[in-house]
Amino acid sequence: MTDDPPPFSPQHPRYFPGWARDIYRRDGWRVVEPGSPFGSTMGFHGKDWHPDSFLALVEEKNEVELPLLVARHPGEGAFTRLVERLHGDGYRVGVVSPLGPLAAHLARVGWYRERRSDRGEIWRKLD
């Protein structure tokens, strides 16, 4: 028997959102959480995204990755608004290993997959 908290608890040592944030920080990315002052200036609003969500960016390269997004109200346009805002601000956006409905949606609206070994596959929008 272990004294670890439940696996989906933020206190668990392998809690995925915390672990993923740590990897991005280690690799020199700026981690941005929804509703944070900086996130809000980028259109990454807390009213649209679950607190476990985050994006990561390298400003010098105008590169943004969306490794974990959980919409509070799926299908109501939060993803589209966020991506349009980021593109409008000059960022190159990549969605990291999207699951299920998001992957199907990206394929339908003209995104393509790039293979990457360090963080899985990255989907990018055709311009």
CA 106, distance to chain mean position in Å, is 14
Domains of the chain, residue spans: 29-125
Q: Is the pTM of this model over 0.95?
A: no
CA 111, 112, 117, 120 torsion: positive or negative?
positive
Question: Mean pLDDT, consecutive 10-residue segments, the chain of 127 residues?
Answer: 50 61 90 94 94 91 90 92 95 89 90 78 85
Distance CA 121, CA 123 (A): 7
Highest CATH level, class, for 29-125 = alpha beta
